[in-house]
Structures are given as C-alpha cells and as structure tokens.
Structure 1
Amino acid sequence: KGGFANETKGGFANENALLKLLYAGMLKASEKWTHPVQNWNLTLSQLSIHFEGRLDDYVDL
C-alpha cells in the first residue's frame, strides 16, 4: 500500500491532473535512483511512437 503516488480511489478530474500526479511521483522516485535506466534509448523510442508528437517539446529524438 504505502509508497503509491495516489492513495485514493477513483478517477482523475482530467488528463492534466493525472500528468501532474505522475510527474510528482517521478520526481520522488528519481531522488532514490543511483543507476542509469537500462535500455533508456529503447524505452524513449517506444514512448515516442506510442505518444506521437507529445514528447517533441521535451526530448530531442
């Protein structure tokens, strides 16, 4: 149970609410990261395909 970014049940008011929650969770998790993410280039490529056009402003591919 503990450690989840969202401890409540139910949906989100909108997509931005979910994105803000995910971002906050990633910031919290990144404080504990000590090693580089394995296969990050592959992961980033797959994300860019799945979320076509949405990462363009944030990442140079």
Structure 2
Amino acid sequence: HEVCARPKIRDGNVANRPIYVAMGVTVEGTRDILGLWAGEHGAGEGAKYWLRVLSELKNRGVQDVCIVVCDGLKGFPDAIGQVWARAIVQTCVVHLLRNSFAYASR
C-alpha cells in the first residue's frame, strides 16, 4: 500500500515534495514499512521512477506480491507488472470514491 505526504524539504530551495511510504502486509497480517522515497518536486513520478522503486524493493527481498493497492499513480501499474507479473493492482477504495465524486452532482 502506498501513502504520500508532502512536507517542505530543503534541497537548494525549500519546496513541498511528495514522500512515498511503502507498507507490506503478510498473509498472517503482519505489517512492515518497506521504505520511504522522496519524489521529484513538480516533475511527477512516471513508470521509470516506480520501476526503480519496485526493483529496489525486490532486490531487498520482497519476493512474492499478491495485491498492490495504490491510488492510480501514472506508470505505477505498468511498473508493478514488470517487477511482479502475477500481482493484482487494486485502486484504493478511498481514492476510487474520491475520484468518482467529481462525476456526481451535488
């Protein structure tokens, strides 16, 4: 499951940058923080960025992934398919509902 926060980070200039958190849940229900990654300010993270992140996770020992829950980040499903071909990509229900409200009248 991926989560994003946007703190102010000083890297030459002070800017809001996304910080992504990857959390794994085992079939026994044990949760573990797998890593934190700082995204690029204003650049948007595409398939190459996510492929690098997921490859790092795989190289660090994440072997078998059943389901990946994410919010529809651009390029993320393609990267998941390249790293773990049998993983199911599921849109987070909260993000699915939030995005659906844009098409509903008040």
Indicate whether the TM-score tops 0.5.
no
TM-score, normalised relative to structure 2 = 0.25
TM-score, normalised relative to structure 1 = 0.36
More strand, by proportion? 2
Q: Which has the larger radius of gyration?
A: 2
More helix, by proportion? 1
